Structure 1
Amino acid sequence: MVSSPSFYSFLAIISLLFHLFLISSITAKNDGFTVKLFRKASPFSRSHLMRSSKNNPNDAHAPVRGYIGHYLMELNIGTPPVKVSGIADTGSDLTWTSCEPCVGCYKQIEPLFNPLKSSTYSNVSCNTPLCDKLDTKECSPEKRCGYTYAYASSSVTKGVLAQETITLTSNTNEPISLNGILFGCGHNNTGGFNDHEMGIIGLGRGPVSFLSQLGPLLGGLKFSQCLVPFLTDIKISSKLSFGKGSEVLGQGVVTTPMVPSPTQDKTPYLVTLEGITVEDTYLPFKTSGTVAKGNMMIDSGTPPTILPNDLYDRLVNEVKKRVSMEPITNDPSLGNQLCYHTNTSPNGPNLTFHFEGANIVLTPIQIFIPQIEKVGVICLGITNNSAEGGIYGNFAQSNYLIGFDLEREVVSFKPTDCTKG
């Protein structure tokens, strides 16, 4: 973990600060595949693909379930296959699951993955190029490639890097297996995970991410997502599409460039936020000086949008002026959040996020979020930090078809009713 107090160090620290989102059930879409989401060695080639189906090798889906607002993508790992549910996260790269033996690990309802029972499991040696893909590699006495991967709130996974067969399912319910997928076999996992979460599915930009490994098989390094708003009926799915056919096209599409990370961390999807308009009042990102390129990270693993203190304070003041109700001021458990006593979204303002080349309009359903633990209370789905940049969280991403194209280096947005499938 980076120790420098820069904005990019901040991103590394909080990329999993709040995990609420993403997960999947995959259906065919051209040469890629589509994932329905419920709230929460040498380069890879087609030689890595085993299948019993005679259909297009990318016609795949994965079962999905939701739990307390989290979106868990179910994968089958190993031979024979074992079902694993992990948080799909665009803010990190490493895909990992808890493995036996697991010393001091958080409690899980489902059994841990046992690598000794899989005929396709193989540890990665610490003196191979595969191990060099990890920035935090370690070498065990047995010459196994070990790792320590840290997230926010002191969440940490420690284990060994391995290769395994990952099995998805075709539209005809036949197995589609991908050989040699790199993943972390976690033997010491602690922090803010709940008992339904068996690990993380890393969808960042780095070389070990699940996306980077699947890209060559699916027609390109690109994917798109359409997230249903928070607290939508759990029976209504979100959607995640990978590879060729996942492009965001048509009327109403706006596009902003990705900004390369100035550090060695290649994970984050960085874009530039120039300012925010509250109805007719424009708030520049900074009141003085030049706005830094890549000042916001788009992260599906973080629910609230996080802004620098100054911009957040100016935004809250403008929002208060346009909501007729009195905010809650006598509940210490809410901290400094802007909250109201109501069961519905207030008749509040729209917010327009002005990214470079792309204006994104958010309505109250994307801005004000009902509190699960406090019935009858809604809060602004935006918070603050002391860094110079921030995070565009998944509350704000809902009801937009958002495309991440790593080949064109752009992020595209199209307003969409994601509850309509």
Structure 2
Amino acid sequence: MASVLKLLPLLLFCSSYHYLIAHAGDDHSYKVLSLDSLKSDAVCSGPKGTYTPSSDGASTVPLHHRHGPCSPLATKKTLTLEEILRGDKLRASYIQRKFSKAGAGDVQQSDAATVPTTLGTSLDTLEYLITVKLGSQAATQTMLIDTGSDVSWVQCKPCSQCHSQADPLFNPSSSRTYSPFSCSSATCTQLGQEGNGCSTSSQCQYIVTYGDGSSTTGTYSSDTLALGSNTVRNFQFGCSQVESGFNDQTDGLMGLGGGPQSLTSQTAGTFGTAFSYCLPATSSSSGFLKLGAGTSGFVKTPMLRSSQVPTFYGVRIQAIRVGGKQLSIPASVFSAGTVMDSGTVITRLPQTAYSALSSAFKAGMKQYPPAPPSDPFDTCFDFSGQSSVTIPTVAFVFSGGAVVNLDPNGIILDSCLAFVSNGDDSSLGIIGNVQQRTFEVLYDVGGGAVGFKAGAC
């Protein structure tokens, strides 16, 4: 697969990034994983529906798992792992197709508000959500977050085709600050392929279609958005009147991608060009989303961006370590690049890299009987009768020398190694949210870096 995340000239990586390690402990060979930690408690162990005000000008809101006791949704639909991963495969394929269609283009190394986060799903794949307030009436909206989307949207009255949701539909007529964009506005033109023409009243229409065929369309508008104690005026979003394919209780989606329509791009003038999040390991704990994030204290690697697919944030993996030992994987295997994506569940690796990871991990797990493959996983173990297991550490080595030692909860999923193969060595890699969990992940767009800070939530 041709990819826009081609290797850049060496000088782009001759930066000030130091050889740093982000890890969850001191032992880089083995970790003890409590199997109970893979399960969710019945009681929320983190703040529910609250946020921590920031003193540094940033805006922070809680982030939660869509399913579980911390979720603000009244209805907590239980999806099987098979259902979640079926949708996950569709999403990953969609991302890879977007880069494949873009072809080999130009990639550049890119030259504060906090909101709580919780784990949740959209399209059976997106798994984390935040609660915000929209409009002059401060209507509560529970929205999924997605670094792979730019256009944000909520379901609005009047709605001719909407799914059932946790909160009342947003009513534009009740908000004094609501304003639809005209078809002739520069903002409407900027939508590009996500524009959908004009309504009979000459209002700008948007349309977003997702990887599994789900879609939303309606009026592209602006209104006041409250993120915790911070207010964003003239926030641009889609007022959805027709949608299809959604079966969750969320009110909409908040785009955190790199395009001009995303929340992070719109608020860069207020909070700066850096944001971060921490995704909780289980549905019974909370994380956060922070706009205007500080950039110190992180293990950093250069960020890759594509002018043809600006939504996504890319990184370059150089090597993988298992049990503290670097695997014999040619660096060229990772030349297609890797996307950081909060909405993809499990990490996709080039076939050669995955095979080496799987073999080394099995060698370090000989004390546990193998278990039959469980689609899409092929490296599974029988942990019957065990309350905890000892597993080899797994670490990514990124360009610039940054080493990120994964949390044990980011290595095992449902008794299997939580990685899958792309099927070949030419496809774009994706680092999913399982491997990102418990890290504060920094997207320093202005500084051209992606960062990691262990044990943040």
Q: Does TM-score exceed 0.5, indicating one fold? A: yes
SS at match of 1:113: coil
Who is 1:14 aligned against? none
| Cα distance change, pair 268–418 in 1 and its aligned pair in 2 (3 A) | same
CA contact (8 A) 1:24 1:64 kept: no
CA contact (8 A) 1:96 1:186 kept: yes
CA contact (8 A) 1:146 1:159 kept: yes
Who is 2:159 aligned against? 102
1:249 offset after TM fit, Å?
Answer: 2.1
| Cα distance change, pair 189–359 in 1 and its aligned pair in 2 (3 A) | same
CA distance in 1, matches of 2:114, 2:324: 44
1:229 offset after TM fit, Å?
Answer: 2.0
CA distance in 2, matches of 1:350, 1:37: 27
Who is 1:118 aligned against? 175
Who is 2:417 aligned against? 380
CA distance in 2, matches of 1:344, 1:366: 18
Q: What amino acid is the match of 1:224?
A: S
CA contact (8 A) 1:25 1:64 kept: no
Q: 1:32 aligns with which of 58, 62, 68?
A: 58
1:122 offset after TM fit, Å?
Answer: 1.5
CA distance in 2, matches of 1:158, 1:284: 48
| Cα distance change, pair 144–392 in 1 and its aligned pair in 2 (3 A) | same
SS at match of 2:354: helix
1:191 offset after TM fit, Å?
Answer: 2.8
| Cα distance change, pair 385–66 in 1 and its aligned pair in 2 (3 A) | closer
Who is 1:145 aligned against? 204
- Which stretches in structure 2 are left out of the alignment for 5+ residues? 6-48, 67-111
CA contact (8 A) 2:214 2:243 kept: yes
Q: What amino acid is the match of 1:349?
A: P
Aligned pairs for 1:321-340 (under 5 A) are: 321-323=363-365, 324-329=367-372, 334-340=375-381
Aligned pairs for 1:12-411 (under 5 A) are: 25-40=51-66, 70-135=127-192, 136-142=194-200, 143-170=202-229, 176-195=230-249, 197-218=250-271, 220-231=272-283, 234=284, 236-243=285-292, 246-250=293-297, 253-261=298-306, 263-283=307-327, 287=330, 289=332, 291-292=334-335, 295-323=337-365, 324-329=367-372, 334-342=375-383, 344=387, 346-357=389-400, 358-369=402-413, 377-386=414-423, 388-411=427-450
CA distance in 1, matches of 2:315, 2:440: 17
CA contact (8 A) 1:203 1:209 kept: yes
CA distance in 2, matches of 1:308, 1:106: 37
CA distance in 1, matches of 2:147, 2:373: 36
CA distance in 2, matches of 1:338, 1:348: 13
Comparing 144-153 with 197-206, which one deviates more in the overlay?
144-153
1:241 offset after TM fit, Å?
Answer: 2.2
Q: What amino acid is the match of 1:264?
A: Q
Comparing 99-108 with 352-361, which one deviates more in the overlay?
99-108
Q: What amino acid is the match of 1:406?
A: V
| Cα distance change, pair 193–314 in 1 and its aligned pair in 2 (3 A) | farther
Aligned residues: 357
CA distance in 1, matches of 2:356, 2:217: 41
CA distance in 1, matches of 2:321, 2:348: 16
CA distance in 1, matches of 2:215, 2:4: 19
The structure, 1 or 2, with the larger RCO (C-alpha pairs under 8 Å, 6+ apart) is 2
1:403 offset after TM fit, Å?
Answer: 1.8
1:272 offset after TM fit, Å?
Answer: 0.6
CA contact (8 A) 2:61 2:228 kept: no
1:353 offset after TM fit, Å?
Answer: 0.6
Percent identity between the two aligned chains: 30
CA distance in 1, matches of 2:50, 2:379: 32
1:337 offset after TM fit, Å?
Answer: 4.3
SS at match of 1:297: strand
Who is 2:43 aligned against? none
1:264 offset after TM fit, Å?
Answer: 2.1
1:322 offset after TM fit, Å?
Answer: 1.5
- Which stretches in structure 1 are left out of the alignment for 5+ residues? 10-22, 41-57, 171-175, 370-376
CA distance in 1, matches of 2:210, 2:58: 30
1:76 offset after TM fit, Å?
Answer: 1.2
CA contact (8 A) 1:222 1:403 kept: yes
Q: TM-score, normalised by structure 1?
A: 0.76
Q: Deviations over 1:20-46 (max 9, x none)?
A: xxx973521312122332235xxxxxx
| Cα distance change, pair 182–312 in 1 and its aligned pair in 2 (3 A) | same
CA contact (8 A) 1:87 1:199 kept: yes
Q: What amino acid is the match of 1:185?
A: C
Q: Deviations over 1:90-138 (max 9, x none)?
A: 2211111112333443332432222233222211112111112212212
RMSD: 2.8
Who is 1:418 aligned against? 456
CA distance in 2, matches of 1:6, 1:120: 45
